Structure 1
């Protein structure tokens, strides 16, 4: 009782100093404010709010309707939710944490790794799981270590294949020597060309790399990246040829001289006494049936080129484009267009040949006609006897000897002319 009286007297004593009058709602709030707040300003605020039935006394003090909040410092807090006073006063939750039921927990989407909350989808030091660090220049994306845009993983290390000298265009494909990686390709500096593993100046005078890699000047020399041939020669497929004398490259590359011709002074030339016909072959115009007298003049029929003109041989005459033996030809008998006359057989041959008529053209018969007739007369008796016993005429023809038949035929001599 004595203690209560002393507190009450203390309240009345300090009341005017704190701006508090005897009109305060309750003496309990005044006492509570005086005992809980060490700061004079906080006490005054607490007592002043209590007069209006609000403030700390009514939130977490003796006049509070609930016990969900607790006085921490100069204010009332919910120890189950306040991240600066989580579970106890001044227990501050760390970054990316919230207070849940008096415990500090990580925000949604974050995971507690050690004493801090981490996003396992994007944290390079905790990628996919706590402590899983991304290495080799990789970054964490969706919980997996990947290379940044424009980079490629080569043996677990991110490389820029467009300019990495040791991984140019592809992993483990390096540029040799002084070559640099540009745009994913090995390229030589200073206008040089990459030939195998070396950078070479193919536009200089290198006979083994003239103009481009591996191009060799088989003859001649390399000047400014081009194979140069001696005077009078030309370059055909990186080899020099004498255009004045080479039969395969006469005057120009691949101008091949035809069979029988020879390249002389850049022209395909025939041997002496021959002429080049159609630019393909050499011909002797004196006696060539396909070029008689001049190229393209072909001897027709059975004529023969003699002395640059088409002629008939062996006393034959040219009849309708064909060399004909007029001494023997029935339709050209003695001359072109003259047909041999028909003579009746002698009476005794009519019995044998049944008035058959035989035509013959033989100039030499005139000289032998008398002898032929005498020979035939000497055989008449034998011939007649044969015919009497043998019929028909076909069988006679088979039995008569060849000599007799030849001379019987020769007796029918036409008149020539």
Structure 2
């Protein structure tokens, strides 16, 4: 019995619904030769590479065409260690207390580790499509910061993922050599995310950003560095970031200074940040002043600060330059309904103070989004929020969205919607209220 052949467009549409189900995609790849390339497009769009990825890297060497299907890559280095891995047998006086993002009570611990600054051998060997192993001299020198030029000169050897646009680097030790290697292997990266990464200096950190000339979105979840002891080379091209995201675990001050010095903020449209100290708030104020005229979307939270209201009053954030600001998102606390019950009951008066500052200075503001757990809703002065948003400076506001996560033990979506409508009658009458209700599963 013969079955009618489905048009290629229909097959593509069917397989597109399985992008999050790799087992089903593997089964589809064995249906016929015509289904194999279509299934591979989804199977290899996002990959994760770590020291245990020998089989995956060997597959890319044996099937080089597949590397053109990869768009998103996450590279995971070795696990984070509390020992002094940054020591290279040179300066034994460094201690963990000098890391800007670590507490002063961390114990001093040093360890000689020459491998820390090298491109990991598993990554170098796995990402090189050349069948000939590198010479001893090349392998030794390429790990040293001064060898970045030699690595860049051999970049054609490492262009194995030429169409990757999103790169996430986790648990990595950064150096100019590592930066040059990654930039050569992934030359078209536009979005870079760092998580649990470390560098000997701030210059080593920023050398990674500058190594990607197409970079437009920079997300810094956690990174650490020592005091800067060398200047950046002047040969890097200028960056023009469109998105900048930084978490509370990042010392934002040096980053803002660097952005302004490099003029990388000139095209900044999206800014996401978490503020926990007055120094960070001051850096944010400087960034708003410099980049406000281009910003269209701001996400800001002070929920992790011990006293967010006092911090906001001391910071005196000025949104006056943000003339093009259209969307303001404010995470008001833990987004998970089951985490940090004490934090969920803290006062959210800082949210009203923030919106009072933003409204009068952002005439184009059309959307406000508040993210919080349902148990935190009573801590938010909804009546006061209703009065603030009724001011004439919010005349263009078209959408007030509550992103509410619920543990599922105290009611349903209709109850939350009713509370919002009763406590915010002005916003409800103007049809501004929107509710994105997420119930916990299980």
The two structures have a TM-score, normalised by structure 1, of 0.16
The two structures have a TM-score, normalised by structure 2, of 0.15
Which is richer in helix?
Answer: 2
